Chain A
Amino acid sequence: MHTSGQIMNGSEILFECLRREHVEYIFGYPGGALLKVYETLHDVKDIKHILVRHEQGATHMAEGYARATGKPGVVLVTSGPGATNTVTGISNAYMDSSPMVVFTGQVPSTLIGNDAFQEADIVGITRPITKHNFLVKDVKDMAITIRKAFFLATQGRPGPVLVDLPKDILSSECTFNWPEKIDIRGFKPTIKGHENQIRKAAAMIARAKQPLLYVGGGVIASEASDALRKLAIEQDIPVTMTLQGLGAFPGDHPLSMGMLGMHGTFWANQAINTCDLLITVGARFDDRVTGKIDTFATHAYKIHNDIDPTNIDKNVKVDLPVVGDSRCFLEGVLKALPKTRENRQAWLDKIAQWQKECPLTFTNEKDTLKTEFVIDEVSRQTRGNAVVTTDVGQHQMWTAQHYKFINPRSIITSGGLGTMGYGLPAAIGAAFGIQDRPVVLFCGDGGFMMNIQELVTAVSYKLPIKIFLINNNFLGMVRQWQELFHQEKYSFTDLQQSNPDFVRVAEAFGVKALSAGNPAEAEKAVKEALAYNEGPVLVEFKVIKKDMVFPMVPAGASISDMLFERLNPKTMV
């Protein structure tokens, strides 16, 4: 490590700052504006640069790494097209509150605004999709700006921060000074919730006859799972989780109700609309969760803890808001709980009854394969202990329903933005962060094609990721909506004729590839894939075309009005 007070150029300062921020990996791709940075990088040994094949891949990898480890993901790309290729990934990280710092090269500061070669106003472009962003105009500002970027990305509600670095700044020199202390006067997130509000929440919890915990990604981000578990078990409160909250509470525990919302469990949605106290922790009443707002949890007194004050009263009016870190909130509630509480047996029995009425089931057939079976099988064989990444669509919802997540930071999925093509790079990023658990990807045939180039990255770093490709030769979720709501007009969703032979494609990339077309083959292939650790392995599961994700709440309907089967059963193949 260099010491403060040394003369360094901008590129050296960049790496020195990354060192001080304890960065292990950079996901990057070189280019003209970054030549000086890559010259410096050539001799950097302690920070590992991962060469991606497309800048979008770099951003999803950084996010996968961030979500798996809790540490900020770091991206390094060149100006212009390099920078604009990061937009989807940045937007994804912004919607799902993932800590990420993106460094973009920029044309020399003297040329900014001149429509120079490979110039794009990336600061302007990413303003609405970053937590904050910076253009460094003087090499003397580099260290403090990078320090601020990491601080902003990780403190309060996490999110992506972009730092734009003009080419001339990266080669000019100044005295390096690392700011140990940092103060951003416009950024003072409330971490500790209001004490009176917390005390009031604890009293409400003890008094409630039919309480329900509805928890989201904030519980994972704030490492609040232990406190959540304690509160739920001590108080006999059932827990339902959002897509990003899965794993916050063990999925195999009797108090776990699985996911709620559009493709949530029947019993979780019934509980929402029956409970007398809704304790919302680190979740934001997303439209995929609430369905029709006016009918959402109408009988409940609503407590809402969130670190971001803008989430309070945004979609649903609440009775008791507590702005602050979810872990502080839950620990505060645990301390403030009265000695006695209501008995909840009748409430738990009611939920068990709903669960019995409409369980998550599927029928398995000997000669055909269903996605639910594959996910169940992977869940069983990994004992719920894998880090599971997904792409977007039907397989994603089935993963949420059927994989039994036991631990936090186990599901890495694009929730807010719904980015197809997210899964493969996210799995790669996660695999750099996690070595002691299998990293699994569930992906559809549509999304897999969107960042397929990153197979090269997985192969070149010999990452033992398990790519479970669920191939129904259709854009399945769009197909499902077309069947249910658009008169079965399967407009441009049938990929049967155009899909490649995925096994051969994988093999051409150097990926070990298997395929399975029935439950017996699937069971065997999963076993073989999980045992293979020399590098990435792909299993193509040839599943039936016309399977649909149920239960389902049609968009705009109340979450208690769920569909359990297709309206017209004869179309089932």
Chain B
Amino acid sequence: MKHIISVLVENKFGTLNRVAAMFSARGFNLESISIGETEDNEISRMTIVTRGDDSIISQILKQLNRLIDTLKVVDVTNKPHISREVLLMTLNRGKQSQQEIFNLIDVFKAKVVDIKQKSITIEVVGSPDKINTTIEMFRPLGIKEIARSGTVAMTRGES
């Protein structure tokens, strides 16, 4: 099963390498990993998407905790949480497809971030599911290039 793990880490060089190397050394699946500074510039948040049965996920959580540079490890999968991903996608801009592209842009609340004679680049923000659907829907119109940010996630605030 797919799991989203949110990890607070020391904002130091080598931390990303330590985490990624642990995954590869122990043969854990690593679907995506994203990292950025938090409100405290000494701490970064890492969001890891991985797959495994309960015993593998439990090992992953423990192995993450064991690294000295990790401060907090939370499996947010079964907690109320928000997860988002950013998609940048460049499409071929043909005469026939133009209208269809703009229709889909409307449907997916995408943003046009760059437009050239022959291409158009859009940005979509949403759950990883929505990103997958977006890509599928645009595919017939001619995708030139895709960049995905990987998932970022956090647990919901208290009410």
Contact = CB atoms under 8 A, between A and B. Distances in A.
Nearest to A137: B13
B69 A186 contact: yes
B21 to A, nearest CB: 5
Contacts of A185: 71
18 contacts: A123-B14, A124-B17, A127-B17, A127-B18, A131-B68, A132-B69, A184-B68, A185-B71, A186-B9, A186-B69, A309-B62, A310-B59, A310-B63, A310-B66, A312-B62, A313-B58, A314-B59, A317-B55
A187 interface: yes
A308 B65 CA distance: 11
Contacts of B58: 313
A120 interface: no
A186 B71 contact: yes
A314 B63 CA distance: 11
Interface string A114-149: 000000000110011001100000000000000000
B62 A128 contact: no
B22 interface: yes
Contacts of B21: 127-128
Interface in B49-74: 55, 58-59, 62-63, 65-71
Given A127-B14, A128-B21, A128-B22, A313 B55 contact: yes
Contacts of B69: 132, 186
A113 to B, nearest CB: 12
Contacts of B18: 127
Contact of B70 (A186, A310, A313): A186
A128 B68 contact: no
A416 to B, nearest CB: 15
A152 B66 CA distance: 12
B147 interface: no
Interface in A302-319: 308-310, 312-314, 317
Interface of B is mostly: helix
B107 interface: no
Contact of B66 (A127, A128, A309, A317): A309
B85 interface: no
A308 B59 CA distance: 12
Contacts of A152: 68
Interface in B33-92: 55, 58-59, 62-63, 65-71
Contact of B68 (A132, A309, A310, A313): A132
B143 to A, nearest CB: 36
Nearest to B60: A310
A185 B42 CA distance: 12
Contacts of A186: 9-10, 67-71
Given A131-B68, A309-B65, 12 more contacts: A123-B14, A128-B21, A128-B25, A132-B69, A186-B67, A187-B68, A309-B66, A310-B62, A312-B62, A313-B55, A313-B58, A317-B55
Contacts of B68: 131-132, 152, 184, 186-187
Contacts of B65: 309
A314 B62 CA distance: 10
Contacts, number: 38
A208 to B, nearest CB: 26
B152 to A, nearest CB: 21
Interface of B: 9-10, 14, 17-18, 21-22, 25, 55, 58-59, 62-63, 65-71
A554 to B, nearest CB: 25
Nearest to B25: A128
B14 to A, nearest CB: 7
A396 B52 CA distance: 38
Contacts of A312: 62
Nearest to A148: B68
Nearest to B65: A309
Contacts of A124: 14, 17
B53 to A, nearest CB: 12
Closest 8 CB pairs of A and B: A132-B68, A310-B62, A309-B62, A186-B68, A128-B25, A187-B68, A186-B71, A128-B21
Contacts of A131: 68
A560 to B, nearest CB: 25
Nearest to B67: A186
Interface centre among B21, B59, B62 (most CB of A within 10 A): B62
Contacts of A127: 14, 17-18, 21
Contacts of B9: 186
A263 to B, nearest CB: 27
Contacts of A317: 55
A184 B70 CA distance: 11
A317 B58 CA distance: 12
Nearest to B70: A186
B30 to A, nearest CB: 15
B76 to A, nearest CB: 19
A136 B60 CA distance: 29
Contacts of B17: 124, 127
Contacts of B22: 128
Nearest to A156: B66
Contacts of A184: 68
A132 B55 CA distance: 25
Interface string A167-202: 000000000000000001111000000000000000
B90 to A, nearest CB: 33
A124 B65 CA distance: 20
B69 to A, nearest CB: 6
Interface centre among A128, A131, A152, A186 (most CB of B within 10 A): A186
* Residue among A128, A131, A152, A184 with the highest chain B CB neighbour number at 10 A: A128
A308 B55 CA distance: 16
A187 B62 CA distance: 13
A348 B99 CA distance: 85
Interface string A307-335: 01110111001000000000000000000
A184 B71 CA distance: 10
Contacts of A187: 68
Given A127-B21, A128-B25, A185-B71, A308 B66 contact: yes
A430 B21 CA distance: 33
A123 B21 CA distance: 13
Contacts of A132: 68-69
> Of residues A127, A184, A312, A317, which shows the largest number of chain B Cβ atoms within 10 Å of its Cβ?
A127
Contacts of B70: 186
Most buried by A among B25, B65, B68, B71: B68
A314 B10 CA distance: 27
Nearest to B42: A185
